[in-house]
Amino acid sequence: MALVEINFDGIVGPSHNYAGLSLGNLASTRNAGQVSQPRAAALEGVAKMRANLDLGLVQGIFLPHPRPNRAWLADLGTTIDEAEPALAANAMSASAMWAANAATVSPAPDTADRKCHLTVANLRTMPHRSHEWPATLAQLQIAFGDAAHFTVHAPIPPAFGDEGAANHMRLAPAYGEPGAEIFVYGVSGGAFPARQHVEASKAIARLHRLDPARTLFAEQSEQAIAAGAFHNDVVAVANGPLLFAHEKAFAQRDRLIADCERLVPGFELVEVPDSEVPLADAIASYVFNAQLVSPATGETTLIVPAEAQETPSVWNWLQRHLAGNGPIRRVEVVDVRQSMANGGGPACLRLRVVADPETVDPRFLVDEARLGAIAEIVERFWPQAIANDELTQPALIRDIETARRALLDALDLGELAAIVP
């Protein structure tokens, strides 16, 4: 079985809007009330996936969720027509586009039964995300329905917050070799909530049947959370044996690095000093919320948002690193401004799964032709703009529901239409 890393990107949904629902996400708060551009946002995501294909990477997709979430509103005793504005906005959120929060993934080489395990995230900290997991679970069960190779777990009980792969890293000499899995949790974030609970991380490690000797639990620094790093992937990212992180990412940095050096053959650390890239610049630019990938050419590549290029301290540091022949050999820039304005960079938009592509439902994998078909649907059906004061207008809701159904039909995934009423 040939194991490779597959990036599953969330297609930006037709209800993409700026309601400012995410406490601790500075971009989300800053842009609350702005007019969104769902069509442009989804096409930006398609362009990013095309760029990944050009690098020779294997690319997958997840589909937008039903919006408004009428079933969730019904559980709350209301409808989209009658709900208070704040509740209606939570029901219309398109935040499932950030697939890094879909699940936590442990590939087969790390697990006792040699299956790839996925646990869907409960996302219980924020109301607008807490109702995502049923629709996410439905997609995971279809995409990874091959029981000989995958086990898909229901979410951790909501007493403990779990925000998925955005707080999980894996280091290994190669994708197909056993690795060390790092679960990053928060204890305190000052004025902002620490979203990943250590109890949830430990439960996932047990469910995934990981080797305790090769499983690490690292506390995210309170300073990072308070500065706006609501997930670990805003200040750190790993790929293969390489960890790329900000100096102030972890509460007990020295212990974590020592454990990585002990457990991971060939471990490399690329650490950005706060004196060269202040934490505020790192978070504003999302330089760590990048895709750190291994193209077929062998040149470790960092895929960063355009905002990283526009932040002098960040771009200067990257250029110095490249000139010094460091472990990161290429930097690619992508435009995902619509996602960035709501607090999600390139890494937020994708879930990494190490697996044999032949074992994945092919409807969740894309090539150029399939991306072209997605783009055609987006250009035809996605709203061009949404202002917050029109978010619950019946005509807009009809357009949003029609758009999603057209995409499901085009991708032969119509069974998802009835999963969540």
Cα(13)–Cα(97) distance, integer angstroms: 7
Cα(274)–Cα(73) distance, integer angstroms: 44
In the block, which residue shows the tokens 């309601």?
19
* Whole-number Cα distances in Å, 9 to 101, 167, 243: 11, 17, 22
Q: Where do the DSSP E strands lie in 286-404?
A: 291-293, 301-305, 330-334, 350-355
Cα(380)–Cα(48) distance, integer angstroms: 20
Which residues does residue 238 pair with via DSSP β-bridges, in sequence order? 243
Three-state secondary-structure class, residue 110:
helix
Selection from 295, 415, 417, 412 nearest residue 364 by Cα:
412
Active site residue 163: yes
| Phi, psi dihedral angles at 216 (to 5 degrees) | -115, 145
Q: Are residues 305 and 336 in contact, defined by beta-carbon separation less than 8 angstroms?
A: yes
* Whole-number Cα distances in Å, 369 to 10, 373, 408: 18, 6, 16
User: Which candidate in 231, 260, 307, 332 is catalytic?
Assistant: 231
Q: Are residues 188 and 220 in contact, defined by beta-carbon separation less than 8 angstroms?
A: no
**Residue 110, amino acid:** D
Q: In what order do the strands lie in the sheet with 168-171?
A: 168-171, 180-185, 215-219
Selection from 257, 183, 192 nearest residue 220 by Cα:
183
251: DSSP letter: T
* 250: CB partners within 8 A, 6+ apart: 184, 218, 219, 220, 221, 236, 256
User: Which candidate in 44, 65, 116, 163 is catalytic?
Assistant: 163
- Kindly tell me the sign of the dihedral angle through the C-alpha atoms of 302, 305, 306, 311: negative
Cα(248)–Cα(366) distance, integer angstroms: 37
Is the link from the previous residue into 265 a cis peptide, with omega within 30 of 0?
A: no
Active site residues: 163, 231, 348
